Structure 1
Amino acid sequence: MRSQLSFSDEDQSELLKTAAWWWRTLPEFDENGRFKEDISSGGLSPRLKLLREMQRLAFISMEGLDLLRHKLTSYQAGDLWVPVGGIKKTDMDIPAVITLLLVGLTGSGKSSLVNFMYSVLGRSGLIPFAQTSSQPTKFTTMLLEEHNVLRSKKNGFCVYDTRGLDCHRMDEGMEDVWSWMSDGVRHNQPCCRGSDDDREMMEYSMAGRCANKYCKRRVNCVLVVADMEEAFKDFSSGDLKHVEAIKMIFHSPSIRRSNEKPMLILTHGDILTAEERVETRLKLCESLGISETTGAYDIACLSESGIPAEEGDPVSAFALTEAVYRSLLQSDRTHLPKRKFKDWVLAFASWVLCCFSSFFAMLANFFSRFGGNNKRHRLKIS
């Protein structure tokens, strides 16, 4: 599936100028885009591991990208499930549609990432691109949006774009995350918070009344979206408010309960240099405690002028496709078995026993207090 791309010297010099091969401008590479260090001896540093991962993505042929895209097009929920413990696939509680939830700070690039998904995965038909926060309408940042980025009847996953979290009001944002993970999500579901104006909250509530007619979906995998440029500014200034907010989201108990390893997507444009991008990714992965190669994907969603990126960037295109595929693979491995009649009987019996034990514990506490008061009364009389 993977074959190295062969370029002439003229083409290679042109590729070094593009955003797709930005890391080849680092000192570890020569003028031909090859490693200077001897990496055959092993014991690679995290920096070289990251550069090798970028090289791997660059060496993916278009046939490999089309093959992985075809797998996503024909994917149905549960296709990547692996039988364990003698349990059959028919005994598993697999939803009809796998739900991927995008969570991140305000302006982290969630809507731009959805647009890039449409560019890479949505190959035909009318494509309803997501509206970014820079556009005049404001309902897109306040209502949950369900996106079916692949126009296929066989496809079985959707992506939810959510309202961004404010790093100065993380308590309100984490309450929304807990609600999404525990109660599920709906299309056009309002995301009102206490810091919003009463008039805006009324408008968003009226606009979200039609959300009840849409199906409520259980979140299967979370993709934490972070802006690499904001993280770089934090590491440069020493004020780690954005990094700490990302860490709070990534290690949220509600997310960890359903996803042991949420995916980290780093969005960026063309402002940072290759050295700055590599160092920022390494520092951010170290602060989150994840692998610098398999735990995060950096994807160029916007160009320097703020225009959404096109599919012409093969590295970002395959990184996005692989991230979605890995999210579906992780989701299919977290399905639970269906509850049978015997399970419901045992759950009801345990609930009844818990009620009896709570009742007798209350009686014991009451009579112990009554007996203690009676004893003190007798002492006073004597």
Structure 2
Amino acid sequence: MTHTDLRGGSDDSDEEGRSVCFWWKSAGELEYEKLRFDTMSNAPKVSPRIRLLRELERLGLLSSETLNEIRHKLHSYRPGDFWVPTGGITKEDLEIPAVNTLLLLGFHNAGKTSLVNLMYRVFARSGLLHFAQTSSSSTGTNSSTSKSCLFMEEHNVLRSTQSGFCVYDTQGFRYNQVEAALEEVTDWMTNGVHHKKLCLLPGDDAGQESPAGSIFATRDVNYAMVVANAWEIYTSLNLGDTTPLEALKKLFHLPALRNSGENPLLILTHGDKLSTDDRIDSRLKICEFLGVSEVSGAYDVVCVTENGYLTDEYDPISSYSVSEAVYRGLIISDKGHLPKRRFLDWAYLVFVCLMSAFAAIFSFLARICDYFVPKNKLKSSKKLL
């Protein structure tokens, strides 16, 4: 892929293919004139829209130059590789899991499973079939999909026996059951997840049973990514319905999702269903409502084209975006590893528990004495004193 200027001009004869990849090039002549002027003059104040266009230009450049490099880093990654020594603690002092776990969260039809399929294609680079079931592959009223999505799915998207991370696909939540979804997510982040874990919300079929769930390893969640349907949210906003966006905000800002003080990454999907201006506008509005950077806080990814094909070759920018998102997720995961508990730590914990137990016992005895000792004796004892 050859170098392009800000307007999308190219020395490459395959202009049609490039216009597909660089969808934002049609954002308007004035926008790119302003983008070029601001770049040359180093203007201190730049509008969010221009910052976003700059970010898209960055992704467009890196997708052709460093996609293979970042893919190689993910293939060679082992948990703890991205940890930076701080506070005099060495890597050997940390509780580092054998596999880092990335959790995909989102509401129904957000595109989580399609995103997993795209990861398989981008990272594994083999096969032409979908590796996970999507709603588009089912018939009828998503009956098969709704049943399969009741169970968590662990995916080794590198398709390697030495993979350093896994990705968990989860059930799509419903907008009218946000509080129940938040409780479920908090439980996952606190107690961990495992393959084929049953995920039940009010209204789901309680007769489902997790198939041999106990045989699968329980993994602590190291980082979460929130997947959102940009087309659905933007369409609802235009109709005056803010329910999807408000539900997304509650999920995104759930305290349990913050790792090392970092927000989860936001992955926007289905933006290709919008016009160029609406696609940009939807990202700006969603990020503003969530209070995150429209540049570094979100990625716009097209998982499946309108013809049902995965976009790993059709849209290399989506391929690079999902690769960079996973790469950043692993960096934050390695930042969140805790130091190992040593003997003195356990001794201190036992001492604190014993002191708390003694305090509770003496408090209980004091209450008993206060209840059984007559009040007149207490008065006489006070007079003697």
Structure 1 residue 29: Cα displacement: 5.8
SS in 1 for 2:273: coil
Give the equivalent residue in structure 2 for 1:336.
338
SS in 1 for 2:345: helix
Distance 2:260 2:254 in 1: 10
Which of 195, 202, 206 aligns to 1:194? It is: 202
Matched, 1:23 2:31: no
**TM-score scaled to structure 2, two decimals?**
0.87
Show structure 2 runs of 5+ residues with no match.
380-385
Number of equivalences: 368
Distance 2:371 2:259 in 1: 40
Structure 1 residue 333: Cα displacement: 0.7
Distance 1:152 1:368 in 2: 68
Structure 2 CA distance for partners of 1:364 and 1:241, relative to 1, 3 Å: farther
Distance 1:61 1:181 in 2: 32
Q: Percent identity?
A: 43
Give the equivalent residue in structure 1 for 2:243.
241
* Contact 2:259-2:336 at 8 Å conserved across structures: no
Give the equivalent residue in structure 2 for 1:177.
185
* Contact 1:221-1:330 at 8 Å conserved across structures: yes
Matched letter for residue 264 of structure 1: L
Any idea what the Cα deviations from partners look like across 1:237-265, whole Å, max 9, x if unmatched? 23211111111111112212666321110
Matched letter for residue 295 of structure 1: G
Structure 1 runs (4+) deviating above 6 angstroms are 125-128
Distance 2:35 2:27 in 1: 10
Q: How does 1:340-355 map to 2 (within 5 A)?
A: 340-355=342-357
Matched letter for residue 237 of structure 2: F
Structure 1 residue 151: Cα displacement: 2.5
Distance 1:360 1:127 in 2: 68
* Contact 2:118-2:312 at 8 Å conserved across structures: yes
Structure 1 residue 351: Cα displacement: 1.1
Any idea what the Cα deviations from partners look like across 1:81-103, whole Å, max 9, x if unmatched? 00111111111101000000000
SS in 1 for 2:301: strand
Give the equivalent residue in structure 2 for 1:271.
273
SS in 2 for 1:101: strand
Distance 1:64 1:146 in 2: 28
Which of 80, 83, 100 aligns to 2:82? It is: 80
Structure 2 CA distance for partners of 1:300 and 1:116, relative to 1, 3 Å: same
SS in 2 for 1:337: coil
Structure 1 residue 68: Cα displacement: 0.6
Distance 1:257 1:369 in 2: 49
Distance 1:130 1:225 in 2: 16
Distance 1:16 1:124 in 2: 24
* Contact 2:3-2:11 at 8 Å conserved across structures: no
Structure 1 residue 119: Cα displacement: 1.3
Matched letter for residue 346 of structure 1: Y
Structure 1 residue 269: Cα displacement: 4.6
Which of 213, 221, 224 aligns to 1:222? It is: 224
Give the equivalent residue in structure 1 for 2:148.
140
Give the equivalent residue in structure 1 for 2:382.
none
* Contact 1:28-1:37 at 8 Å conserved across structures: no
Matched, 1:41 2:46: no
Matched letter for residue 201 of structure 1: A
* Contact 1:16-1:24 at 8 Å conserved across structures: no
Any idea what the Cα deviations from partners look like across 1:290-315, whole Å, max 9, x if unmatched? 11111100101122345443432111
Give the equivalent residue in structure 1 for 2:383.
none
Structure 1 residue 332: Cα displacement: 0.5
Give the equivalent residue in structure 2 for 1:161.
169
Distance 2:228 2:98 in 1: 29
Structure 2 CA distance for partners of 1:14 and 1:90, relative to 1, 3 Å: same
* Contact 1:223-1:264 at 8 Å conserved across structures: yes
Structure 1 residue 235: Cα displacement: 2.4
Structure 2 CA distance for partners of 1:29 and 1:10, relative to 1, 3 Å: farther
Deviates further, 264-273 or 33-42: 33-42
Matched letter for residue 104 of structure 2: L
* Contact 2:259-2:333 at 8 Å conserved across structures: no
Any idea what the Cα deviations from partners look like across 1:255-296, whole Å, max 9, x if unmatched? 126663211100115220111111111111111111111110
Structure 1 residue 143: Cα displacement: 0.3
Structure 2 CA distance for partners of 1:10 and 1:152, relative to 1, 3 Å: closer
Distance 2:89 2:12 in 1: 57
Give the equivalent residue in structure 1 for 2:301.
299
* Contact 1:221-1:259 at 8 Å conserved across structures: no
SS in 2 for 1:60: helix
SS in 2 for 1:225: strand
* Contact 1:143-1:162 at 8 Å conserved across structures: yes
Any idea what the Cα deviations from partners look like across 1:322-375, whole Å, max 9, x if unmatched? 00000001110111100011111111111111122223333444545666x847
Distance 1:220 1:343 in 2: 23
Give the equivalent residue in structure 2 for 1:211.
213
Any idea what the Cα deviations from partners look like across 1:222-247, whole Å, max 9, x if unmatched? 00000001120232123211111111
Distance 1:114 1:96 in 2: 21
Deviates further, 234-243 or 289-298: 234-243
**TM-score scaled to structure 1, two decimals?**
0.88
* Contact 1:119-1:311 at 8 Å conserved across structures: no
Matched letter for residue 188 of structure 1: K
Give the equivalent residue in structure 2 for 1:358.
360
Matched letter for residue 26 of structure 2: T
